[in-house]
Homo-oligomer: A and B are copies of this chain.
Amino acid sequence: MEKLISLAHGDGGELSHRLICDVFIDAFGDNNTPLFDAAALTIPTGKIAVTTDSFVIKPIFFPGGSIGKLAVAGTVNDLAVSGARPVYLTCGFIIEEGFPIAELRKVVADMVNEAKKTGVKIVAGDTKVVECGSADGVYINTTGIGIYDKNAGCSLAFTEGDAIIVSGSIGDHGVAVLTARGELGIHSPIESDCASLNHMLGKVLASTDGVRIMRDPTRGGLATTLVEIAEDFHLTMKINESDLPVKAEVHGVCDLLGFDPLYLANEGKAILIVAAEEKDKVIDILREFPEGKDAVVIGTIIAKNKGQLLLETPLGSKRLLTRLSGTMFPRIC
């Protein structure tokens, strides 16, 4: 087989056919079944969750993951935080002419690996090739379908006193990807937190009715995600700066470069807002999983009117947080 992707790999003809058979079907599927224009799938319930995400991360391989792992975990997490059990994924590749097929195989292997871990099945795919200079290596879209099991989903029944939990340290992904680019001239031992959270969050949901909402603080970071929740549901929330879990190395890089970990991307963390009386139970369940071992309460809902997020500093002063404003850096996911 050729070593580099050529335009003919995307023309729908003989080379496309071989690429699909050799690289994709071999990894994802079943070589003996005819391919149709759509996959026919069984769905056991009357309500499904659907989400879509394109991944354009640079570099495509980074400490702790790759665009392939991320493309599965990212979409799985969007389903999981919605209270659904992820079951099916589609993937659409846009590949730049000249991209090494060996790298494509590695990306696909990472997707297969992560899909196995999470229990999702990759059921449909598409490959397009664009001329050299019209993309940057490879971009992947994944669309996920999840199922709502009995009673699952989040109540959205927010109350004053609800606890705000984050499942672990923030900013790891942002720092890992930025330093992996090598453009900033600094190195760090930080790995991306890129991970699928569906098993962990599924267990939380199955164990308590006290979950109000779950979200994953990816682009825009913890602060932007909490501001969105505050505004959407007219909640006043307070988080405590001294409770935020930030690794020393992430603090170090942020201090050096003037970044704020509150606005750095995470790819393996969840925010959970839960009833006060359930917070210890939820923390215990999260800590059973490696992805949740550093789970901690970082704040509370203090009122149900203003749609504001407040940060309380160690000295007791309060600062209003807003969405991320102006890009910190592109192509972080």
Contacts and interface: CB of A to CB of B under 8 A. Distances in A.
Copies of this chain held together in the complex: 2
User: Looking at chain A, what size class is its interface with the partner chain?
Assistant: 35 or more
A125 B37 CA distance: 22
A133 interface: yes
A293 to B, nearest CB: 23
A182 interface: no
Contact of A16 (B13, B49, B220): B220
Nearest to A125: B52
Contacts of A204: none
A53 interface: yes
Contacts of A135: 134-136
Given A34-B233, A331-B130, A145 B326 contact: no
Contacts of A145: 48, 50, 145
Contact of A50 (B6, B123, B139): B123
Contact of A13 (B10, B17, B43, B323): B323
Q: Considering the complex of A and B, which 10 residue pairs feature the smallest CB-CB distances, nearest first?
A: A12-B219, A13-B324, A12-B220, A34-B232, A143-B143, A52-B90, A38-B51, A141-B141, A37-B78, A38-B82
Interface of A: 6-8, 10-17, 34-56, 77-79, 81-82, 84, 88, 90-94, 97, 123-126, 128-131, 133-136, 139, 141, 143-146, 148, 153, 215-216, 218-221, 224, 228, 232-233, 263, 265, 322-328, 330-333
